[in-house]
Structure 1
Amino acid sequence: MILLSFDTEEFDVPREHGVDFSLEEGMKVSVEGTNRILDVLKQNGVKATFFCTGNFAEHAPEVMQRIMDEGHEVACHGVDHWQPKETDFARSKEIVERVCGRQVYGYRQPRMFPVSDSEIARVGYKYNSSLNPAFIPGRYMHLTDPRTWFMKGEVMQIPASVTPLIRFPLFWLSLHNLSEGLYHWMVRRTLRHDGYFVTYFHPWEFYDLKEHPEFKMPFIIKNHSGRQMMQRLDNLIKMLKQHDTFGTFTEFVEKVKK
């Protein structure tokens, strides 16, 4: 199964580079990017999971409705992407469920920061996808963690996919900066090895970042952003459709637990 996901948050990356950037500006970028993502998914007839912050859900209810109307899963991604707090596990669930009018089963921490496993379980999530078990010094240095899904109590942990052995990350930055042929080859190899594939992107990657030097974005993030990234996502989906079916994270949890 292909588990395609999107961290649907208010765009705040310029703040990491010293730019004074408002929530209103961040929402404008992310709303446009999310609609572009939804257009690509609709054209290809595939489902995905959208991990949404409370901020995004409250400020873009019409986009949340479109996500649900087109058959995708909504999960939680904290409340304020810039300043995650331990209380966000419960507050995020309350906000997103209130906006969407349906129960939410999954969580992913902003920036894949560590989570409180006890709080994830207490709040009632069925799965947690807050781990990128890659070999990257810093935030993603998780050589001793499992590469594939595992259980912590009653909560399934679903890490982002990395290649076998060297644990090369197959997340958003890789598709931005590698040749598509190389990226697709590594994805197919990992899919064959693990039997499923997990990756994630962000709405703001599909915004035309190169047209906004005032954002002060690094080249590796701006590279192939906007409509070029829409095409790369489209190409990736078309390739993966030849090898497996797409599903939501909750569908994967239910399938594995049978």
Structure 2
Amino acid sequence: MSKANRLLISVDVEEFDIPLEFGGQVPLQEQLSVSHHGLMTVLDLFERYQVRATFFVTAYWAQHYPELVRQLAVRHEVASHAYYHSKYAPEHLESSRLALLAITGKPVNGFRMPRLKPVSIASLKCAGYLYDASLNPTWLPGRYNNWDKPRTPFRENDFWIIPSSVSPLCRYPVFWLSIKNMPDLVTRHFSNTILKKDRMLSCYFHPWELADLNNYTLPGYIRRVSGNKMQHRLNSFLRYLQQKGEFCTHSEWIREQA
């Protein structure tokens, strides 16, 4: 295995339904198209910096853009983000995997629960997955408190859990909200801290962040840095990361551990 740092970038491709959490309304077709628009910008950035990433895609979104999802699977990894982003039933674990498999023709190894809610490892194994990426091992008010969870990838009942990266000690999270709201110097500082300790960085964001969100019912910490501003932030972050290690998918990282 190479000694280079591993950079696990992941993208949650989903219906743009977050305004509904704050009392807003977005027509379903617009929920789909906002993420599509943002994803095309993401792919341009990834091409610029030769990023290979893992795309956690809802089956419902994928069924509306099957050709694009097939294109993603050529260079990147396509994993499951459940069937729908706002509706969940236990049977969606397997049905979303099978739907993505039918579209891409490639194994679907990974899963990430929408909004990073807890999910049963036993159920994921039964549904045919090899790893879960639904853990952010920090505290986010109103979302989760995972201070007691491992900070780095671990195995549970012979099943991989790949958390989003947080720093040692204070568990500062490097993910979409912190990249969006904190200065580049802060993001780079904590990314460096994580890479020095862990030799890997796992970071995720959403395509809809690269759309202009100013006209939607969203709090300022989500809406303020979006569209071109978020594109500038990600461009700077990816340019920095390109000098720090090698981009790889979640499944590739797991294979390297064998």
The question of 1:45 aligning with 2:50 is answered yes
The structural deviation recorded for 1:45 is 1.2
The question of 1:56 aligning with 2:61 is answered yes
Give the corresponding residue for 1:118: 122
Give the corresponding residue for 1:164: 168
The question of 1:7 aligning with 2:12 is answered yes
The question of 1:217 aligning with 2:218 is answered yes
Give the corresponding residue for 2:238: 237
SS at match of 2:12: strand
Task: Say whether the 8 Å CA contact 1:35–1:63 is kept in structure 2.
Answer: no
Give the corresponding residue for 1:206: 210
Give the corresponding residue for 2:72: 67
Task: Say whether the 8 Å CA contact 2:19–2:218 is kept in structure 1.
Answer: yes
The question of 1:104 aligning with 2:105 is answered no
Query: Once the two structures are superposed, what CA deviation does each residue of 1:184-213 show, in whole Å capped at 9, x if it has no partner?
Result: 111111111111000100011010112x2x
Task: Say whether the 8 Å CA contact 2:49–2:242 is kept in structure 1.
Answer: no
The structural deviation recorded for 1:229 is 1.3
Aligned-partner Cα distance in 2 for 1:138–1:21: 23
Aligned-partner Cα distance in 2 for 1:85–1:169: 29
Q: Number of residues paired by the alignment?
A: 253
The code of the aligned residue for 1:147 comes to R
The structural deviation recorded for 1:140 is 2.5
Q: Which of the numbers 164, 173, 184 marks the counterpart of 2:188?
A: 184
User: Could you say what the CA RMSD is over the residues aligned between the two structures, in angstroms?
Assistant: 1.1
The structural deviation recorded for 1:72 is 0.8
Q: Compare 60-69 and 10-19 and name the one that shifted more.
A: 60-69
The code of the aligned residue for 2:151 comes to R
The structural deviation recorded for 1:167 is 1.0
Segments of structure 1 that go 5 or more residues without pairing to the other structure are none
The structural deviation recorded for 1:136 is 2.9
TM-score scaled to structure 1, two decimals?
0.95
SS at match of 1:26: helix
The question of 1:28 aligning with 2:29 is answered no
Q: Which of the numbers 89, 96, 104 marks the counterpart of 1:92?
A: 96
TM-score scaled to structure 2, two decimals?
0.95
The code of the aligned residue for 1:30 comes to S
Query: Once the two structures are superposed, what CA deviation does each residue of 1:40-83 show, in whole Å capped at 9, x if it has no partner?
Result: 001111201100001111011132123123x1110000011012
Q: Which of the numbers 153, 159, 179 marks the counterpart of 1:155?
A: 159
SS at match of 2:143: coil
The code of the aligned residue for 1:95 comes to A
Segments of structure 2 that go 5 or more residues without pairing to the other structure are 1-5
Aligned-partner Cα distance in 2 for 1:100–1:22: 27
Aligned-partner Cα distance in 2 for 1:203–1:100: 20
SS at match of 1:198: strand
The code of the aligned residue for 1:6 comes to V
SS at match of 2:23: coil
The structural deviation recorded for 1:36 is 0.7
The structural deviation recorded for 1:135 is 2.7
Task: Say whether the 8 Å CA contact 2:73–2:106 is kept in structure 1.
Answer: no
Aligned-partner Cα distance in 2 for 1:19–1:243: 40
